[in-house]
A and B are shown apart, each in its own frame.
Chain A
Amino acid sequence: MLEFHQVVDGRPCTLAYLTEELTPATKEDFTFVKVIFDDGEVAFLVNPDKAENKPADGGVQEAV
C-alpha cells in the first residue's frame, strides 16, 4: 500500500510498504518500506520486526 503526504525525519514523503519479494504489502505486515522524499532522496528501510531473517552477524557468515 501507498501512503501519500507523510513526514519522515521532518521531510515530506510518500511511503510504499513492501514484502520481502518487493511486492505490495500492508502497513501492518511489511518487510520493507520505501520512503520517497519530495526533495529527491529515496530510502529503503527494513522493518526491525522482520530483520531477524538476516544473518545475525550483519550479513556475513564466517567460513567453516
Chain B
Amino acid sequence: MIHLHIHSKDAWVESDHPRAPAGTGKAGQFVKGGQGGGPSRHTRPPIAEHTVHSPPPPKKEKAPTPPPAKEVEAEEKEKSERAKVRGKYSKQLFWAGTKEQLRLRTQLMINDTSKVLRFDPHRIKVEKGNRKMTVNGKLMDSAGTADLRTGKITLWERYVGPHTTDVLAHEIMHQKFELVRQLYELDREAMQKDSRKGVFSATGGVGAKYVDDYPTAAYLHPFLSKTKELREGDGVTDYSRLYWDALKKGEGNYDIAMHETLAEISKLHWIAGAPVVATPAWKNLYHAVNAFWDKHLQHADLKGFYPNA
C-alpha cells in the first residue's frame, strides 16, 4: 500500500466557521450553517471531471505566505539544474562531430534530462530506422513516439536535435500524469464499490476515516476536482488552448486537454525554469502530480503497471 502524507483541503479551519460570541445566548454556536447544508454523503460522484461539486462560499483572500526557505532553495537548485542541462544540449553544436559522437551525446542528453526530471532513462530509447505513418494520404516519418500503454518514449535518431530536451520535458510529463491519473482512477473506482458510510466526503473527496484506504484519491482529489478552474485556466500555450477551445464547442476529450496542458506546463517549466507559468489551479495540479511521482513512483518498479510493455 502506498502511504501518503496528506495535506487535506477538507481539514477544519476554525476561522472559516464563525461562532456567536459570549453573552449572546448562543455562545459557541455557529453563526450560520448546520443541518443539511451540503450534498448527501451517500452521493457517489463519478470519477475524473465529473466530480464537480457545489462551489464553496466565497472566502476572504488571505495574503500569500512566502514559501519556506528550504523550498525556495530547492526550487532555485532545480532551476539551475534545468538551465544547465538545457543549455548544454540546446545549441546548434549538438550536431557537430561524427555519428558516433552524436549517438553518445544523445544518450548523455537523455540521461541528464531524465535525471533532472526524475524519470527512468531506460524508458527512453533511440531508434536508428524509420517508422512511417500515412496522414491524409501523405507518408511521414516519426520523429518520436510516446506510448502511454507501456510508459516508453522512442526518439528517431535522425530527428534528435537541440530542441529534443524540450520535447522530452513534454513527453515525460505525459507519462507521469498518465500513471498518476490511472492510480487515482483505481482508487475512485474502488470507492464507488465501497459501501461503507462516509467513504466520500461532503465535497466528493475521500472521507477523513478512509484516507489510508484511498491515499491517491485523497491526495489528488483537491486538485483534480477543480474542473471549473482548470477549464477556465484555458490552457497555457496556444497549442494546449486548442483543446480547451474545442471542448467549449463540444469537441475533443477532457483527458487529452488535461494531458496536453500539463505537458505544456512541463515544457515551459523546463525552458523558463521557475516559476511555472499557469493559473493557480494548474500550478497546484502540476506540482501535486510531480510531488506524487517524486515520492511514490520515480524509484518504483513500474513493470506491474504496464502489463503490455
> What residues make up the interface of A, taking CB atoms closer than 8 Å to B?
1-2, 4, 8-9, 14-16, 18, 22-24, 27, 32-33, 35-36, 39-48, 51, 54-55, 58-63
Find chain A residues with CB under 8 A from B97 CB: 60-63
Max chain A Cβ within 10 angstroms of own Cβ: one of B157, B178, B239? B239
Size of the chain B interface, CB-CB below 8 angstroms: 43
Complex interface: stretch among B39-47, B128-136, B220-228, B287-295: B128-136
Q: Taking the complex as formed, is B96 at the interface, i.e. its CB lies under 8 A from any CB of chain A?
A: yes
Apart from A8-B135, A14-B252, A40-B147, what are 15 other A-B pairs with CB-CB below 8 Å? A2-B242, A2-B246, A35-B135, A39-B149, A40-B178, A41-B147, A41-B148, A42-B146, A42-B147, A42-B148, A42-B171, A43-B131, A45-B140, A59-B157, A63-B96
What 0/1 readout, one digit per residue, does chain B (135-165) give for beta carbons within 8 Å of chain A?
1101111111111110000000111110000
> In the complex, what residue of chain A is closest to B237 when comparing beta carbons?
A23
- Knowing A18-B239, A24-B238, the reply to whether A47 touches B149 (Cβ < 8 A) is no
Report how far A39 CA is from B160 CA in the complex, Å.
Answer: 25
Report how far A22 CA is from B158 CA in the complex, Å.
Answer: 18
Total of A-B residue pairs, C-beta within 8 Å: 106
Q: Is the CB of A16 within 8 A of B242?
A: yes
Report how far A48 CA is from B141 CA in the complex, Å.
Answer: 8
Partner of B102, one of A1, A15, A59: A59
10 tightest A-B contacts by CB? A58-B158, A40-B148, A45-B140, A59-B158, A40-B149, A44-B144, A42-B146, A43-B145, A41-B147, A61-B95
Q: Is the CB of A48 within 8 A of B143?
A: no
Q: Taking the complex as formed, is B251 at the interface, i.e. its CB lies under 8 A from any CB of chain A?
A: yes
Report how far A37 CA is from B99 CA in the complex, Å.
Answer: 32
CB proximity of A31 to chain B, nearest CB, Å: 10
Find chain A residues with CB under 8 A from B242 CB: 1-2, 16, 24
Partner of A45, one of B99, B101, B143, B178: B143
> In the complex, what residue of chain A is closest to B99 when comparing beta carbons?
A60
CB proximity of B183 to chain A, nearest CB, Å: 16
Q: Taking the complex as formed, is B80 at the interface, i.e. its CB lies under 8 A from any CB of chain A?
A: no
A–B pairs, 28, beta carbons within 8 Å = A2-B246, A8-B134, A9-B134, A14-B253, A16-B239, A41-B146, A41-B147, A41-B149, A42-B145, A43-B145, A44-B145, A45-B141, A45-B143, A46-B159, A47-B140, A48-B140, A48-B141, A54-B159, A58-B157, A59-B95, A59-B157, A59-B158, A60-B95, A60-B99, A60-B102, A62-B97, A63-B97, A63-B101
